[in-house]
Amino acid sequence: MRPISAPLVPSAELIALWQDRARRPVLVDCSFDLADLDAGPWTYAAAHLPGAAYLHLENDLSGPRSGHNGRHPLPAAERFVATMAELGCDDDRHVVAYDNAGGMYAARLWWMLRWVGHDAASVLDGGSAAWRAAGLPFESGAAQPVGVRGAFSLRPTLTRSVARAALAAQLGQDRCLIVDARSAERYRGENETIDPVAGHIPGAINRHFKDNLRVDGTFKPASQLRAEWLALLGGREIAGVVSQCGSGVTACHNLLALEIAGLGGAALYPGSWSEWCAQPGAPVATGAAP
């Protein structure tokens, strides 16, 4: 199968591949709403890309919560691999994730696929809104079982991640640059409505994930993303960059933007702020970055 131009695919290229059975990718709708856990399945049932499956952030793309491991901890890798196999995904089959929020949730699936060693993964640029704007067809109805389990296996990871303890040990070191993907308001510790503690990890800088997008919800050109991110990194090596957010979801959006910009190699802190602030005595900073 000819690979899609990873990590981002436009609607025009995707519809051409979808019409070619020999190259048809697995489509996965990741639409979700943090304020309404039922909104994603409802959105999917109302209208989704032809043949797309649905994965729920809480039920399929997260593991059990302990109260100390964040709001969206990663599931066991073996469990996630089984989930993808149940969707009919094979090791050589391309997966294209999309959502209704500019890639906010689709990027999580993209990162997780690479986490379990699947490099044939992309995000639909602009998601369902771009598909609709192009006048392309939708289907309706609840998700249906695929029927034929795919041969999807756990392979060596293609990503980097860092645990809370390891990140805490790196605080204050010049080689480590933590980038917080939350809004500037939440980063500063103002009007926190999701997590019980307001603020950010000491030393972290802020790059709201929405800054990766154009007004229409598609990603900025690779050259523009590269220039913006290089200015933000200030000469630091990408190997020292750690992406985090509230719960390890929109942090993946920043990692996707870096990949699009040709700056791959940064790490994810999966537990992110929701795990960090749940630890007794964890250091917390507020206000704008110095």
Q: pLDDT tens digits, the chain, 290 residues: what are they?
A: 444 558 999 999 999 888 887 788 999 999 999 999 999 999 999 999 999 999 999 999 999 999 999 999 999 999 999 999 999 999 999 999 999 999 999 999 999 999 999 999 999 999 999 999 999 999 999 988 777 889 999 999 999 999 999 999 999 888 899 999 999 999 999 989 999 999 999 999 999 999 999 999 999 999 999 999 999 999 999 999 999 999 999 999 999 999 999 999 999 999 999 999 999 999 999 999 77
Q: What is the CATH number of the domain that holds 39?
A: 3.40.250.10
Residues 93 and 173 in one domain: no
Decide if 211 is inside a domain.
Answer: yes
What would the two tokens of residue 286 be? 């507020």
Q: Which one of the listed residues 30, 89, 176, 245 is annotated catalytic?
A: 245
**Which of 105, 102, 92, 106 is CA-nearest to residue 27?**
106
Q: Number of folded domains in the chain?
A: 2
Decide if 289 is inside a domain.
Answer: no
Active site residue 245: yes
Residues 17 and 113 in one domain: yes
Full-prediction pTM beyond 0.85?
A: yes
Decide if 142 is inside a domain.
Answer: no
Vertex 21, ends 17 and 22: CA angle to 5°? 90
Decide if 31 is inside a domain.
Answer: yes
pLDDT for 2 equals 40
pLDDT for 144 equals 81
Decide if 153 is inside a domain.
Answer: no
pLDDT for 4 equals 58
Decide if 71 is inside a domain.
Answer: yes
Q: What's the domain range around 252?
A: 164-276
Partners of residue 29 on adjacent β-strands: 54, 98
b/e for 164-196, b at 16 or more Cβ within 10 A?
beebeeeeeeeebbbbbbbbeebbbeeebeebe
**Which of 177, 1, 159 is CA-nearest to residue 93?**
1
Decide if 141 is inside a domain.
Answer: no
Quick check: helix, strand or coil at residue 18?
A: helix
